[in-house]
Every structure is written in C-alpha cells, then in structure tokens.
Amino acid sequence: MKTLLPTSTAGSLPKPSWLAEPEVLWSPWKLEGEALVSGKHDALRVSLQEQEFSGVDIVSDGEQTRQHFVTTFIEHLDGVDFEKRETVRIRNRYDASVPTVVGPVSRQKSVFVEDAKFLRSQTDKPIKWALPGPMTMIDTLYDAHYQSREKLAWEFAKILNQEAKELEAAGVDIIQFDEPAFNVFFEEVNAWGIACLERAIEGLKCETAVHICYGYGIKANTDWKKTLGSEWRQYEEVFPKLKQSNIDIISLECHNSRVPIELLELVRGKKIMVGAIDVATNTIETPEEVADTLRKALKYVDADKLYPCTNCGLAPLSRSVARDKLSALSAGAEIVRKELLTQ
C-alpha cells in the first residue's frame, strides 16, 4: 500500500432500504431469486461509491452480499442443517437459536468469489474481503457431529483456505477474518485458535488481516462492555501469540473503548487497523477526535504500518450517519498524514 495511513472500514455498511430493513442488524432480504442477485450488485455499487466519495482508500463490498457475517458463509456449506436449530450461548454473552452441524462439513463451490469479482470489476482501488474466522464460526453453531470445538474449527479453517485462495485469484488485495471470539476464549485462542487461523491463510500471497473487536453496538454487547471494568485488557491475552503468527494486519477497536492503547506495543511490527470510529453511537466523530486516536496509536505503531479504520461494522447505523463517519475518518487521517509529512 503506497498511500500513507490508508483508510478502510472493518466491514459492513448500511444496506439500502429496498434491499433490507434499514438500521436493523442481520435484517432479512426484501428481494428473492434473480432480483436479489442484481439487487445485491446494485447495493454493492452504491456502497462502493459512498466509500470512494468519503475518501476511503481500501474499499469493500460493504457486506451488501451477505445477511450475517457468519451464517451467510455457513449456509453454503454441506454438513450444517439450518432447519435443525438449538439454542446456544454466543461468546458467553447472549442466547441465539443456531443451526446444527449434522455431518462432515465441506464446501462444494465458492461462496463469495463471484461477488468479489464483481467488486474487482468496479474499482481500481485496493479491495478487502471479509470472511468469518474459524473460532467465531464454531461459536455460532450447535455441533452434533464432531463434538469437539477444535476439530470443527480445523475443518472450517481448511474450507476457509479454499475460499480465500479463490478470492485472492479474483483480485482481492486483503482477506480479513472476523474473529470477535478471540476476545473471549483466550485459552482456546492460544491453544489452537491462532493455529487454525494460520491454516486458513496457508499459501496465500495477498495480505491477510484478523478483525478482533468488542462487537456491534447492540444491547448484548454494550451490556457486556459495562461488565469489563475501567480497563479492557482482553487483547493482552492474545497479542503475544498473534505477534508470532503469519497474519499481516490486526484490526482493533480503539476509539471510545477502554482498551489501554499501550497494549499495541505487544504487537509492534504488525500492521494495525486502528479503529478510530465508534460504531455504537450516532454521534459523528470530529476529524480532530479521529486524529487524536491515530496520534495515540502512532506511539506504538510505525506510521507505515498504521491503517485508520472503524471499530467494527457500520451496518446498524443510518446511511447518512455512516457516510458522515467515513468522511470524518478520512479527514482525521488527512490531518495526521500532513503532520507526518511535515515532520
């Protein structure tokens, strides 16, 4: 990436009202069949244009192609029965009715590759594509087959690797794995979670990222955050091992969070997507607030490795709020860019 402080988003952006109910997370599609296919492409075009107009440097599909960041991928796999549902606790935080793993999991054909090719055809900017991480996938399912979280995660890692290789061939520059579960199951992350992630990126030549956040601004997450005390030190548990991993970029929640920014020292040398936009509030950050978060991170992240970003996805926000937040991100990055170039 030649641009200094290239901006991007953690992933999702609001969907247009004709595609899905606005300001609702994981809202079902309003279209079906062929109309849905072209509707998603139209939404992707709009989302891309909004990112480009807001000055975002590394663009994405805004997750216009999926309803849910985990289950849309799993829906395309064999071995998971979506009719057979069980209630499980997600990330030790809230109960959800989830599908059941009933047999060996496998991927018959690519899931997002056609969408990624479409995005590639629409822009010359670097593109990032998000996939769920293996540990977050197993945490969103009831496993009646493997009866082992580790075994199932390993199988998903192999499947993700197949998909990632095809995304790379389609021209994706950065493949990101969303692993909010890395902020919860520390022992498993260190025992096998990071190893599974490395299996998922095996043989890739494009850049790879892992996104670890404190979740969307939904009540279950904001309630959980209230229980975490005055300092959020979750990252400290997984950073030492992540630093040793082959993952190129780590995407983190920094703005308005209680994460002590000095924890970034533990991953010095990695590229860091610094979350400088809060996704849990409609208040638009000022460019100066964004710049302030980036300046703090610069004490621990070398300038050529700092990627200004959002804390998480912006899907549950209104389109105008999301647009204004992206513009603030770009303006804040520009302030710091100028400072760095005149130093």
Query: DSSP readout, 197-245?
Result: HHHHTTT--SEEEEEE-S--S-HHHHHHHHTT-S---HHHHHHHHHHHS
Number of residues that bind Zn ion (CB under 5 A): 2
**Contacting range for Zn ion; rule: CB under 5 A; set: 115-123, 294-302, 309-317, 321-329:** 309-317
Q: Which is nearer to Zn ion, 131 or 170 (CB)?
A: 131
Closer residue to Zn ion (CB): 91 or 337: 91
Residue 44 or residue 213: which is nearer to Zn ion going by CB? 213
Q: Which is nearer to Zn ion, 197 or 312 (CB)?
A: 312
Of 19, 312, 317, 328, the one binding Zn ion (CB under 5 A) is 312
Instruction: Rank residues 101 and 314 by Cβ distance to Zn ion and give the closer one.
Output: 314
Q: Which stretch binds Zn ion (CB under 5 A): 58-66, 101-109, 159-167, 305-313?
A: 305-313
Q: Which stretch binds Zn ion (CB under 5 A): 102-110, 231-239, 311-319, 323-331?
A: 311-319
- Residue 10 Cβ vs Zn ion, minimum distance, rounded to whole Å: 5
Nearer residue to Zn ion within complex by CB, 213 or 276? 213
Burial class (CB in 10 A: 0-12, 13-18, 19+), 244: exposed
Give the x-and-dash track for 31-50 against Zn ion (CB under 5 A). Answer: --------------------
290: phi > 0 → left, psi -120 to 50 → alpha, else beta; which? alpha
Query: Segment 196-235, which members bind Zn ion (CB under 5 A)?
Result: 213
Q: b or e along 221-243 (b: 16 or more beta carbons within 10 Å of the residue's beta carbon)? A: beebbeeeeeebebbebbbeebe
Burial class (CB in 10 A: 0-12, 13-18, 19+), 75: middle
* Alpha carbons 331 and 288: distance in angstroms, whole number: 8
CA atoms within 13 A of residue 21's CA, in its CB half-sphere: 5
CB of 268 to Zn ion, least distance (A): 23
Three-state secondary structure call for residue 272: strand
- Minimum distance from residue 177 beta carbon to Zn ion (Å): 11
Residue 149 Ramachandran class (φ > 0 left, ψ -120 to 50 alpha, else beta): alpha
Stretch that binds Zn ion, among 144-152, 239-247, 292-300, 310-318 (CB under 5 A): 310-318
Close Cβ partners of 21 (under 8 Å, ≥ 6 residues apart): 27, 28, 30
> One symbol per residue from 131 to 150: x for binding Zn ion (CB under 5 A), - otherwise; what is it?
--------------------
Binding site for Zn ion (CB under 5 A): 213, 312
